[in-house]
Amino acid sequence: MNQDVANIKSDQFSEDEFEQEDFGEQERHEKPFDPSKVDVTITTPNLGALIARLDNSEIDLMPEFQRSPDLWSKQAQSRLIESILIRLPIPAFYFDAYEEAKWQVVDGLQRLSAINNFVLKKTLALTSLEFLTDYEGKKFDDLPRSLTRRIDEFQTSVYLIKPGTPLLIKYALFNRINTGGLKLTPQEIRHAMSQSVRDGIASKFLYQIVHEDTFKNVVRNKSNRQAHQELVLRHMAFVLFGVEGYKSSLPKFLDLAMIKLGQLKDEQLETLRNDFLDSMEVAFDIFDTDAFKRSLAEPSGNKVVNKPLFEAISVSLASIDKSERQRLIVCKEDFRESLKLLLRDTEFVNSITLSTANTENVLTRFNMVKDLISQQLAKDLI
């Protein structure tokens, strides 16, 4: 394929609302999955067969709440179509074939979207062509039959992840496969893999939460790469498995949490949701725009959410009862000052800035925040 297509950059979400994280060396050494449980087959259908699936909604191009399928520019989409028309090979497509009637795209979303835009939706006019310059500005219906036939007969390679492959292994496979020019974020992978469980209930659960005003009061930037959903998932993971249940690595811990969310009953999800949103409301009442930010102790610093701090505070607030949360609001000035002091403590600051996924640092920050809240509540009783 033309290098212009291969080098398309992803539409990265704005990092303005989040501190960059240092996960440390421990995150880089995950245990491999069991290869004997991998069930993947390869087929070589003509592109026309995939187009027929697209036309009959048998490939899920845009699962609800999925990242945008149209991140490629018109030029990049056109160069892909040109590659097909001049019979240049294109990369293989990967699908999760959990449901025969509707495949989930694992790798190839942008390529399939470009083909869909040109052949079926007919919204793409070819532009910036390198070889077929006579067809500049043309749409699918403007092409001669000799060229449209090339599209139908173009041979592709398709890998199907078969039913029965364990979900956690699918996550690992997705990460291995996800190597193209437009890589998915880890949370986008979790989203895609979760669609086969209870109609994607885990993704819907996270989506609904991040669109609540209570959440948007404390995390205000716009994200179309599932960054906010991952932030909420981090909270849920520690609530579901407990801080003591955490063992590096963080990505695998979050994978397990995404799977667990899909297994919970509706009433359990509702309890998680209510406790989380209540913790957001309390945090905003107490810390206002400095909620989950080190700017509370460093007013001149950037007002950005620190994810490890978010985890420790939100989970600690969600773990106490409503009456205790209200008592913290009543004495919020004192509590703010106590947290400011904690944010100047070297051990605590290290735990939320250096090797943040290290098991010891996770335990350190959670225990220090938990102790701070306990001390504040005890002081309030005096």
CB of 239 closer than 8 Å to CB of 315: yes
pLDDT at residue number 182: 58
**What pLDDT, in 10s, does the model give residues 198-236?**
888 999 999 999 999 999 999 887 666 789 999 999 999
d(CA 368, CA 121): 56
**Measuring CA to CA, which residue among 237, 210, 222 is closest to residue 318?**
237
pLDDT at residue number 205: 96
pLDDT at residue number 296: 92
Q: Residue 109 is encoded by which pair of tokens?
A: 């979303």
d(CA 41, CA 57): 22
Segments in the chain forming alpha helices (H)? 3-6, 47-55, 74-85, 109-115, 145-153, 167-177, 186-194, 201-210, 213-216, 227-241, 250-263, 266-287, 307-318, 322-330, 332-342, 346-353, 359-381
> Which distant-in-sequence residues (6+ apart) come within 8 Å of 92 by Cβ?
42, 107, 108, 156, 157, 158, 159
What type of residue is 293? K
Query: Rounded to 10 degrees, what is the CA torsion of 333, 339, 345, 349?
Result: -140
The parts of the chain modelled with pLDDT lower than 70 are: 1-17, 23-35, 62-70, 178-183, 222-224, 301, 380-382
Residue 7, burial from CB neighbour count under 10 angstroms (0-12, 13-18, 19+): exposed
d(CA 64, CA 61): 10
d(CA 124, CA 138): 8
3-state DSSP call for residue 7? coil
Phi, psi at 271, each rounded to 5°: -65, -45
| DSSP-derived secondary structure letter, 100 | T
pLDDT at residue number 371: 96
Quote the distance between the C-alpha of residue 285 and its chain's center.
28
Q: Residue 354 is encoded by which pair of tokens?
A: 């250096």
Query: Rounded to 10 degrees, what is the CA torsion of 47, 48, 50, 53?
Result: 180
